[in-house]
């Protein structure tokens, strides 16, 4: 049984990708940068700009990989002197879409995200600085982003690389990094003959235009 599975094994989407540095989250310093997110589109907040973008991930099991995107997301940013200084992201788990409706339902079940009990995932930056993390595997990375990532009701502090570029009066930003799903309490192993990979590739892209 093992040899056929090895022959069918799909390429690992997390291979040679930048792993997030994950540690325990600590309480952010006051003042809080923005109001708590609600799971619905946020109204404009003083000092914050609503960005457009995509949030998704790629995960693999022995036989194939799947791309997923969250159709509903809210991305808020702060710009200072044309530079990205803060970002806050919320995605609605129930808006998750892959290439298979049956898989969508399973990912939203208690085996994975448990959308009914934990309907949103969030990221709140605590620092953004020029220069990529040491040994970053993200091609063209220009910055290091730190912040608190909450998935499946578990919050961890992460440090990831990003590509942040001035675009007229605003910016474009993107990141691609891997996490261990077990760090966030997502432990479903998959079928015995089609195990799910531990690492998941996260992708975020955004564009924000200065309101000034």
* Residue spans per domain, the chain: 2-26+47-208
Rounded distance between C-alpha atoms, residue 134 and residue 148, angstroms: 20
CATH 2.40.128.110 is the classification of domain 2-26+47-208: yes
Rounded distance between C-alpha atoms, residue 66 and residue 72, angstroms: 19
What's the predicted TM-score (pTM) here? 0.82
110 SS3 class: coil
Rounded distance between C-alpha atoms, residue 197 and residue 15, angstroms: 11
Name the token pair of 26. Answer: 């600590």
pLDDT score of 211:
67
pLDDT score of 41:
46
pLDDT score of 7:
35
Give residue-wise pLDDT tens across range 42-61.
445 668 999 999 999 998 87
pLDDT score of 42:
47
* Low-confidence stretches of the chain (pLDDT beneath 70): 1-12, 14-16, 21-22, 26-46, 62-63, 193-194, 211-212
Decide: 155 and 25 in contact? Cβ < 8 Å: yes
């Amino acid at each position: 049984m093992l040899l056929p599975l090895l022959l069918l094994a799909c390429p690992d989407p997390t291979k040679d990708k930048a792993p997030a540095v994950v540690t325990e989250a600590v309480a952010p310093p006051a003042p809080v940068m923005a109001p708590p997110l609600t799971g619905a589109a946020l109204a404009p907040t003083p000092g914050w700009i609503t960005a457009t973008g995509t949030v998704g991930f790629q995960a693999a099991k022995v036989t194939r990989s799947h791309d997923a995107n969250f159709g509903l997301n809210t991305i808020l940013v702060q710009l200072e002197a044309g530079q990205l200084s803060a970002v806050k992201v919320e995605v609605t788990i129930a808006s998750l879409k892959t290439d298979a409706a049956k898989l969508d339902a399973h990912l939203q079940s208690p085996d994975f995200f448990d959308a009914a009990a934990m309907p949103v995932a969030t990221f709140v930056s605590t620092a953004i600085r020029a220069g990529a993390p040491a040994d970053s595997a993200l091609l063209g990375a220009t910055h290091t982003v730190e912040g608190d990532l909450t998935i499946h009701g578990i919050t961890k502090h992460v440090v990831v690389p990003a590509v942040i570029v001035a675009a007229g009066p605003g910016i474009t930003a993107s990141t691609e990094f891997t996490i261990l799903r077990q760090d966030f309490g997502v432990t479903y192993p998959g079928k015995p003959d089609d195990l799910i990979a531990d690492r998941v590739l996260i992708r975020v892209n955004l564009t924000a235009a200065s309101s000034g």
